[in-house]
Amino acid sequence: MKNKPWLLFALVTTVFWGAWGALIEIPGRAGFPVTLGYIVWSLTMIPCALVALAVVKWKLEYDLKSILYGSIIGFLGAGGQLILFHAVMEGPAYLIFPIISLSPIVTVILSVIFLKETTSKRHWVGIVIALVAILLMSYQEPGSNDHRGYLWLLLAILVFLAWGTQAFYMKKANNTMKAESIFFYMMVTGVLLAPVAYFMTDFSQEINWGFKGPYLNAIIMTLNSIGALTLVYAIRYGKVIIVTPLTNAVAPIITIVLSLIIYAVIPSPVIITGIAIAMVAAYLIAD
């Protein structure tokens, strides 16, 4: 690990994000609104951003280009996060996260169109089978009560698009910005969207202010924030071609396994096939 610090950072991201994905449903099911959950998440980003800036001795890049790129990356990430919290209230995490893990499809396509980058047959094969996986995972058996309608699928696809586009801009920004500055702007934009989440909250409903509400939520969201920070350093010290497949493909597997154990749900063979294909596609597509 001393000779490969990137591996330690990548493993932390993978495990933390995998556990976070499986656990984020719990506070919502316990009566803590997902909109307030977003606010808690945005606050957990602050200490991580301060740690990142401390590492570079508070040298934040604040030229116009850095602020623009940082804001685009941040709003796409935070906006996707806000949508995600609604998605997991409408559908199961074991279906939503495999779909989101396919977001490199968007990154690859945007890079080919706008950056004129070439891509391999492996990427295109991954994109095609990813579309098959999404169709299989959206299958609902007649009379199934596992999830209500297809709103969860629409929301998951919106997150998929937002985070795929975010990765494209992050790829561009990495050529001119420090990773710590990127993360700082991700934190700032996340906090800026917190009032939106607050005004979206229905305070007429009963809200759980106990441990399973904001306190458990804070613990769970900290897993996401720490994972985001360690990913920055995993990419800095390692190769994207190795780090990305690990986080994109393995973290959702952890989410799936934990979700099936925690919520005691066994999906149909069609959906299981779709999940398996999605994991293969995520590995093939990841840069």
What is the CB neighbour count within 10 angstroms for residue 29?
A: 12
**199-203, 220-224, 282-286: which has the minimum mean pLDDT?**
282-286
Q: Considering the entire predicted model, what is its pTM? A: 0.81
Q: How far is CA 243 from CA 45, 132, 187, 248, in A?
A: 22, 25, 22, 9
- Please state, rounded to an integer, the average pLDDT across all residues of the chain: 83
Q: Buried (b) or exposed (e) across 67-102, using 16+ Cβ within 10 A?
A: eebbbbbbbbbbbbbbbbbbbbbbbbbbbbbbbbbb
**Length of the chain in terms of residues written:** 287
Which tokens is 120 given? 């391999």
- For the chain, the domain total comes to 1
59 is in which domain, residue-wise? 5-285
Identify which of 156, 280, 174 has the alpha carbon closest to the alpha carbon of residue 231: 174
The confidence score (pLDDT) of residue 128 equals: 79
Query: Is 74 or 123 the better-scoring residue by pLDDT?
Result: 74
What is the rounded average pLDDT of the residues 62-77?
92
